[in-house]
């Protein structure tokens, strides 16, 4: 893991006046070429690293930087620890444990350890989604080693297709995990929901990375559908769902224990399903075609339970 390696490299540079690239490579069990790439990365990040030629030469951090400045403040380390602990809950990698130990060592001051952060991000999976952990592990391998992924995919219409992709980015959005990649069959970039994948395999074949730009996931560009603003009356206990999804400005007014809100949906069964999540605490006020369409949709659902 690159972050583990970079932090380990920083710790070694803090402990040594000068150290050769060969020794660094041996300590971190990587090639000298990778060491030079990591040094370039740290230099671009602003660390004053110098190189010294000759038999006793090597790489080091400027003394003045070590003495007069702390490489990380306690707040910096607390932020890193919070992020890594969240990542550890998801993957439980041994390497992350090592990184956390190194950060604690850096933060150790006068016998006190770094305090727990006041903000916590819990990425641990629900029991029903434990299978996603292995999927994420496979995807991580493919991302790090630039290897193709193949899998069967069920789209929102229930159609199953076999895919082969170049993976580029994993996104966690609204309690779901998504993979952005280049689909070989479609010859274009696509977004795939991990929970819709099955029979996932990491191929031995590698690919040459493209000039990838993260795909937008604002619900507009990556879903080529027509959205319509629906006015709904919901119980106040449901108001947070509107605010979390669209913002407080979508709450039109509060009346007693209910409120009026603007709630954009796609005018089809997929959009109706999002409104069904409110249960009996929601009523569609308008437009009339959405109200009528939703009523017909609910009737079709009820028809499945009408037979004795």
Predicted pLDDT at 227: 83
Convert the pLDDT of each residue in 44-68 to its tens digit: 878 888 888 776 778 888 776 654 4
Convert the pLDDT of each residue in 12-51 to its tens digit: 887 778 888 888 888 777 888 888 888 888 888 788 888 8
Predicted pLDDT at 43: 85
Report the percentage of the chain scoring pLDDT > 70: 74
Note whether 2-68 and 129-206 share their fold: no
pLDDT band at 151 (very low <50, low <70, confident <90, very high): very high
Average pLDDT over the chain reads 81
Convert the pLDDT of each residue in 253-304 to its tens digit: 998 999 999 999 888 888 899 899 999 999 999 999 999 999 999 999 999 8
Identify whether the C-beta of residue 253 lies closer than 8 Å to the C-beta of residue 260: yes
pLDDT band at 106 (very low <50, low <70, confident <90, very high): low
Q: 10 vs 25, 38, 43, 87, 232, CA distance in Å?
A: 13, 10, 11, 21, 55
Class of domain 129-206: mainly beta
Model-wide pTM > 0.85: no
262: left (phi over 0), alpha (psi -120 to 50) or beta: beta
Predicted pLDDT at 38: 86
Predicted pLDDT at 53: 79
Q: What CATH number does domain 2-68 carry, 1.10.10.10, 3.40.50.300, 1.10.1040.10, 2.40.10.10?
A: 1.10.10.10
Strongest mean pLDDT among 11-15, 99-103, 164-168: 164-168
pLDDT surpasses 60 at 207: yes
Domain boundaries, the chain: 2-68, 74-107, 129-206, 227-303
């Amino acid at each position: 893991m690159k972050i583990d390696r970079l932090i380990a490299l920083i710790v070694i540079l803090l402990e040594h006046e000068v150290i050769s690239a060969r020794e660094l490579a041996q300590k971190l069990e990587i090639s000298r070429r990778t060491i030079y790439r990591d040094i370039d990365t740290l230099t671009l990040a602003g660390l004053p690293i110098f190189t010294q030629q000759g038999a006793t030469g090597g790489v080091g951090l400027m003394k003045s930087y070590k003495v007069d400045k702390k490489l990380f403040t306690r707040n910096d380390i607390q932020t890193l620890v919070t992020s890594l602990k969240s990542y550890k809950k998801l993957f439980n990698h041994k390497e992350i444990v090592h990184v956390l130990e190194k950060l604690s060592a850096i933060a150790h001051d006068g016998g006190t350890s770094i305090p727990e952060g006041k903000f916590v991000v819990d990425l641990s999976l629900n029991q029903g989604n434990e299978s996603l952990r292995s999927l994420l592990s496979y995807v991580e391998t493919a991302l790090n080693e630039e290897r193709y992924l193949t899998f069967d995919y069920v789209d929102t219409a229930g159609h199953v297709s076999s895919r082969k992709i170049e993976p580029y980015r994993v996104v966690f959005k609204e309690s779901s995990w998504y993979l952005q990649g280049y689909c070989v069959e479609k010859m274009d970039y696509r977004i795939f929901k991990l929970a819709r994948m099955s029979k996932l395999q990491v191929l031995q074949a590698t690919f040459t990375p493209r000039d990838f730009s993260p795909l937008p996931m604002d619900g507009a560009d990556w879903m080529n559908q027509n959205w319509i603003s629906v006015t709904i009356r919901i119980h106040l206990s449901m108001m947070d769902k509107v605010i979390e999804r669209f913002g407080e400005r979508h709450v039109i007014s509060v009346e007693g224990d209910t409120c009026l809100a603007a709630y954009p949906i796609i005018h089809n069964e997929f959009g109706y399903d999002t409104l069904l999540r409110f249960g009996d605490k929601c009523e569609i006020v308008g437009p009339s075609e959405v109200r009528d369409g939703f009523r017909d949709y609910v009737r079709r659902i009820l028809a499945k339970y009408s037979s004795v």
